[in-house]
Structure 1
Amino acid sequence: MKTEWLETLPEQCPPEDAELCNGSYYRIANGNPVDSADFFSQRKLQPDKVFKGSDINECVARTISLFSDRKEAERRLKLPKIRNASIALVELEPKDGMIKKTFGIAHDSWWRTIEFDVSQAKIV
């Protein structure tokens, strides 16, 4: 069965070292309750932006940032740009896509499939 990604991914994306989703994660969300737009990649939100950073390529630009540790997500809420956001608990299963640890201990990059059910994510 072919995986249907939420958005078009470049060649060799997700990378070989990404794993099937399985577990609980935290997502910084603007909606309360959350909606699908709270689970869009930076590329989908900003299609013309040039992302800078040594570890940021087009594959990573098409991921959704998640945190494996709630305290790390809460720490990010201190940033002015997302100060008024909320934190959603997300339970991911293999059908929801692929995930890889990136950018620090508690940060994960998630490649979302169309199978992900947004309604199961709850503000905590």
Structure 2
Amino acid sequence: MRNAQLTFSDLMPWLFKKVEMGMEFDQEMIECLNGTCPPEDAEAANCTIYRAVQNNPPDDRDFLSYVREGKVSAAKAKCDDWGLSVWCDMDAVEHARDVIPHFQERYIAAGEMGDGHGVLKASPSRKQARHFTFWNYANVKLSGAFEVVMPPVEEA
């Protein structure tokens, strides 16, 4: 049996349905990755998610993907670089702060997500077993959905 590969045109009906519902992802991301990002097994983010942010209150700059931020290490061909680094529970946040000192310098913001915000997939790493990637819909302004729940460590 041959491995079937989906083409962009195969995905068009699914994409149009999402657009009609106001649930459209970043068009450049879709084109760069031929409709394979976010991954098919990413699920609606019906939970509270936590994100390390620089600002209190969080603003739009706190919710840019590595690609949109223009990070030198970001790769447009890497799906995770189009998403946001998040956690789904405070224990995972505290663990991240313990193993990656950079997160100690950031505020931690929480936002209650639902079907209309985006999708989520576990993306564990060697240091962070409970890390997730979140891909928000293009029309969603996340800054208004989040509030700071934890100050940087030096402010605690």
| 1:80 Cα deviation after fit | 3.8
Gaps of 5+ in 2: 1-16, 150-156
In the alignment, residue 78 of structure 2 is paired with which amino acid? E
Map of 2:123 onto structure 1? 102
Q: What CA distance in whole angstroms lies between the structure 1 residues aligned with 2:56 and 2:70?
A: 22
Per-residue CA shift, 1:81-120, capped at 9, x if unaligned? 3332111011111111111111154211111112244212
Moved more, 64-73 or 74-83: 74-83
Determine the structure 2 residue equivalent to 1:88.
109
Q: Is the 8 A contact 2:49 2:87 kept in 1?
A: yes
Q: TM-score, normalised by structure 1?
A: 0.81
Distance 1:98 1:68, change over 3 A: same
| Equivalent-residue separation in structure 2 for 1:80 and 1:24 (angstroms) | 23
Give the conservation status (yes or no) of the 8 Å contact 1:95–1:116.
no
More helix by share: 2
Correspondence for 1:44? 68
Aligned residues: 119
Query: Which one of 91, 95, 100 corresponds to residue 71 of structure 1?
Result: 91
Distance in 2 (CA, whole Å) between partners of 1:26 and 1:99 is: 12
The one-letter amino acid of 2:121's match is: K
1: CA distance, partners of 2:28 / 2:111: 23
Q: TM-score, normalised by structure 2?
A: 0.66
Q: Which letter maps to 2:95? A: R
Q: Higher strand proportion, which one?
A: 1
Partner SS for 2:73? coil
Residue 37 (structure 1) shift: 1.1
CA RMSD of the aligned region, Å? 2.1
Instruction: State, as a whole percentage, how many aligned pairs show the same letter.
Output: 25
The CA deviation at 1:122 is: 0.8
1:33 is displaced (CA, Å) by: 0.4
> 1:110 aligns to what SS in structure 2?
strand
Counterpart amino acid of 1:5?
Answer: F
Q: CA deviation at 1:47?
A: 4.7
Maintained 8 Å contact 1:98/1:111: yes
